A and B are shown apart, each in its own frame.
Chain A
Amino acid sequence: MALPKNVFMFGKSKALEHKIDEFLDRLSESALLFDLAIKSYLSDGYSEDFAAKRKDVNDNESAADVLRREIESQLYSQTLIPESRGDVLGLIETLDDVLNLCESSLWAFDIEKPKIPDEHHALFKELTEMVVQSVEALARSSRAFFRDFDRVTYHNHKVMFYETEADKVSTKLKRQIFASKLDLAHKMHLRFFVESIDNIADWSEDVADRLAIYALKRSV
Chain B
Amino acid sequence: MEAGVLIFLTSGLFLGWALGANDAANVFGTAVGTRMVRFSTAAIICSIFIIIGAVWGGAGAASTLGKLGAVNALPGAFMAAFSAALSVYLMTKAGLPVSTSQAIVGGIIGWNLFSGTLTDATTLTKIISTWVLCPVLAAIFGAAIFKVTVKLMRLAKIHLIRVDAYTRLGLIVAGAFGSYSLGANNIANVMGVFVSSSPFDDISIGGFFTLSSMQQLFLIGAIAIAVGVFTYSKRVMMTVGNDLLPLSPVGAWVAVVSHSIVLFLFASEGLKYALESNGLPSIPLVPVSSSQAVVGAVLGIALVQGGRGFRWRVFGSISLGWIVTPVIACAICFVGLFFLQNVFKQQTFRDAPHILSNDVLDRIAKEGVSESALGAIKGQRYDNAVALDQALTKIGKYSTRDREKIMEFSRRAPIMIDQKFFTKLNRGPLSPERLESVYQLNGRYYPYEWMFRDDLSKSSRSWRKKGDERYNQMLKQDLQFLIRLFRAK
Contacts and interface: CB of A to CB of B under 8 A. Distances in A.
A82 B154 CA distance: 20
B158 interface: yes
Contact of A10 (B41, B165, B248): B165
Nearest to B309: A220
B34 A17 contact: no
B161 A2 contact: no
A83 B248 contact: yes
Interface string A138-174: 0000000111101000000000000000000000000
B157 interface: yes
B79 interface: no
Contacts of A145: 160
A150 B169 CA distance: 25
Given A6-B168, A83-B248, A88 B44 contact: no
Interface residues of B, number: 24
B160 A83 contact: no
Interface string A69-101: 000000000011111100010000000000000
B45 A80 contact: no
B35 A3 contact: no
A93 to B, nearest CB: 17
Contacts of A83: 34, 248-249
A146 B161 contact: yes
B34 A81 contact: no
B165 A9 contact: yes
Nearest to B45: A3
Contacts of A2: 38, 40-41, 44
A65 B159 CA distance: 22
Per DSSP, chain B at the interface is: helix
Contacts of A3: 41, 44-45, 172
B352 interface: no
Contacts of A179: none
A82 B161 contact: no
Nearest to A9: B165
Contacts of A150: 154
A3 B168 CA distance: 11
A185 interface: no
A17 B161 contact: yes
A1 interface: yes
Interface string B33-52: 01111101100110000000
Contact of A13 (B164, B172, B305): B164
A220 B250 CA distance: 11
Of A3, A145, A150, the most chain B CB neighbours within 10 A belong to A3
A111 interface: no
Contacts of A14: 162
A91 to B, nearest CB: 11
Contacts of B162: 10, 13-14, 17
Given A82-B36, A83-B34, A13 B165 contact: yes
Interface in A1-32: 1-3, 6-7, 9-10, 13-14, 16-17, 20
Given A82-B34, A82-B36, A83-B249, A6 B169 contact: yes
Interface of B: 34-38, 40-41, 44-45, 154, 157-162, 164-165, 168-169, 172, 248-249, 305
